[in-house]
Amino acid sequence: MNRWTVGLLALALVSVIFSVSIGREVSFPEALSVLRYHAVFGYGTIPDPIADRIVWQLRLPRALLALIVGGGLGIIGAAMQTLVRNPLAEPYILGISSGATAGASLFYLGFLPPLISKALTMPIAAFAGGLCAILIVYSVAGSRGHLSVARLLLAGVAVASLMGALASFITLSSPDPDKLRSVLFWLLGSLHLATWNVLIWPAIAVSIGLAVLLALARPLDGMLTGDESAHSLGVPVESVKRILIVLASLVTGSIVAASGAIGFVGLIVPHAVRSFTGVTHRKVLPASFIVGAIFLLWADLAARALLPGAQLPVGIVTALCGVPFFLILLRRNRQGFG
């Protein structure tokens, strides 16, 4: 825990309080009194029921989902960049997001047999789709106990195209054009479905991901030097690769299921972080988590502020604000980007 980490954590906390108190209708003091009422077990006056719904059941879960999703994408992005030793890597390179989209559209547009679709919800369908995609990629990339990074990347790109085509085919041939817009909304990535129940799985998955990745920080540093030299450093390269893929599927799958494929966070956050912390994973991973979380929370705030009362998918804002910032950073730090 150095000063930076403490500062970032404090910023995250302030951002959450800011995020739940900003918006039309519910005033700042009113929002604070709702938070206080719930946080200290019924202390203070009982809040107005509408303000209570807005702050406690809509804004707070949404802010927390932004933190979890942003943080999760940040750490998985960093891990994927290390796994394939390619600066272009991001959480979606293994085809998980396209697979999840295909799964969700299959379910939502009513293309699954009723018996199956009754047992599913959209997040579960999305998760299953993502899992299908990663299983195909993994079975293509791995042979005789060795996992080829080049094949992993190529298979990921190919499966992503396949799943993308499948999802487009489903949406365009859908008998129900009204539902198409809902799928599109989800496809762009949005946090508007956040509720306390939606939060649980991503929260568990991201916590596991963060803990395991932190435990693997030293082997990951070794893998930056290449498979063979990592092996000679005593890193069990193949096992670490497998663990990373399983983690990426778990974390990315549950994130995409909850919020759609929010772009660019997983790509740019780890790079931005490395230009301040250097490449050691002991520093990169926690910083990617906090910076990703804060970035997505602010992006969502911007999305809410741009169209008051209406929604803008946050994925649009992450690209609009994040990419120019990233390009500036890229220009200023010529070295250190692989």
Partner 1 sequence: MRQICLLLLIVTGCTASSERERTIQDDMGRTVSLPSRIDRIVPLAPSITELLFASGAGSKVVGVSAYDDFPTEVDALPEYSVLPMDFEAIVALDVDMAFASEQVNNPKNADTFAAVGIPVYFVAVNTLEDITRAIRDLGDLLGTSEAAQGRAMQLEDSLAQLAALTANLPEKPEVLFLIETATLYAFGQGSYIHHMIDLAGGTSITRTQSTRFPVLTDEFVLSENPDVIVGSFGVEFEMSELLSYHPTWDILSAVVSEQIHGFDSDYYLRPGPRLVEGAWQLAGVLHPDAMTGP
**Dihedral of CA 336/151/255/251: which sign?**
negative
Does 46 help bind partner 1 (rule: CB under 8 A)? Answer: no
Does 29 help bind partner 1 (rule: CB under 8 A)? Answer: no
Pick 281 or 304: Cβ nearer partner 1:
304
Does 173 help bind partner 1 (rule: CB under 8 A)? Answer: no
Does 315 help bind partner 1 (rule: CB under 8 A)? Answer: no
Does 182 help bind partner 1 (rule: CB under 8 A)? Answer: yes
Burial level of 232, CB count in 10 A (0-12/13-18/19+)? Answer: exposed
**Per-residue CA distances from 141 to 166, 211, 249 (Å):** 22, 26, 15
Does 185 help bind partner 1 (rule: CB under 8 A)? Answer: yes
Which segments of 40-121 does DSSP mark as H helices, in order? Answer: 49-52, 60-84, 96-108, 114-119
Grouping H, G, I as helix, E, B as strand and the rest as coil, residue 338 is coil
- Tell me the closest approach of the beta carbon of residue 14 to partner 1, in angstroms: 21
**Dihedral of CA 184/247/205/271: which sign?**
negative
Among 14, 50, 165, 328, binds partner 1 (CB under 8 A): 50
Pick 23 or 315: Cβ nearer partner 1:
23
- Tell me the closest approach of the beta carbon of residue 55 to partner 1, in angstroms: 9
268-307 residues near partner 1, rule: CB under 8 A: 304, 307
Q: Please give the angle made by the CA atoms of 74, 67 and 86, to the nearest 5 degrees.
A: 5
**Per-residue CA distances from 11 to 156, 191, 282, 313 (Å):** 36, 21, 21, 24
Does 165 help bind partner 1 (rule: CB under 8 A)? Answer: no
Does 6 help bind partner 1 (rule: CB under 8 A)? Answer: no
**Dihedral of CA 16/17/18/20: which sign?**
positive
Pick 146 or 181: Cβ nearer partner 1:
181
- Tell me the closest approach of the beta carbon of residue 182 to partner 1, in angstroms: 4
- Tell me the closest approach of the beta carbon of residue 82 to partner 1, in angstroms: 38
Amino acid at 65: L
Binding to partner 1 by CB under 8 A, coded x per residue (else -) over 53-82, reads: xx--xxx-----------------------
How far apart (Å, rounded) are the C-alpha atoms in residues 306 and 312? Answer: 8
Does 24 help bind partner 1 (rule: CB under 8 A)? Answer: yes
Pick 100 or 223: Cβ nearer partner 1:
100
Does 38 help bind partner 1 (rule: CB under 8 A)? Answer: no
Among 29, 40, 309, 331, binds partner 1 (CB under 8 A): 309
Provide CB contacts within 8 A for 43, sequence distance 6+: 36, 37
Window contacting partner 1 (CB under 8 A); options: 47-55, 142-150, 222-230, 317-325: 47-55
Per the CB < 8 A criterion, the answer to whether 101 and 129 are in contact is yes
Does 178 help bind partner 1 (rule: CB under 8 A)? Answer: yes
Grouping H, G, I as helix, E, B as strand and the rest as coil, residue 146 is strand
Residue 142 pairs with which residues in a beta bridge? 147
Does 18 help bind partner 1 (rule: CB under 8 A)? Answer: no
Q: Which residues bind partner 1 (CB under 8 A)?
A: 23-26, 49-50, 53-54, 57-59, 178-179, 181-182, 185, 192, 195, 304, 307, 309-311
